[in-house]
Amino acid sequence: QVQLVESGGGLVQAGGSLRLSCAPSGTIFGINGMGWYRQAPGKQRELVAGITLGGRTNYADSVKGRFTISRDKTKNTLSRQMNSLKPEDTAVYYCAADSYGRVYWGQGTQVTVSS
Residue 99: the pLDDT is 93
Q: Is the pLDDT of residue 82 over 90?
A: yes
Q: Is the pLDDT of residue 28 over 90?
A: no
pLDDT digits (tens, 9 = 90+) for 35-44: 999 999 999 9
Residue 21: the pLDDT is 95
Q: Is the pLDDT of residue 76 over 90?
A: no
Among 91, 89, 84, 93, CA closest to 5: 93
Burial of 106 (0-12, 13-18, 19+ CB in 10 A): buried
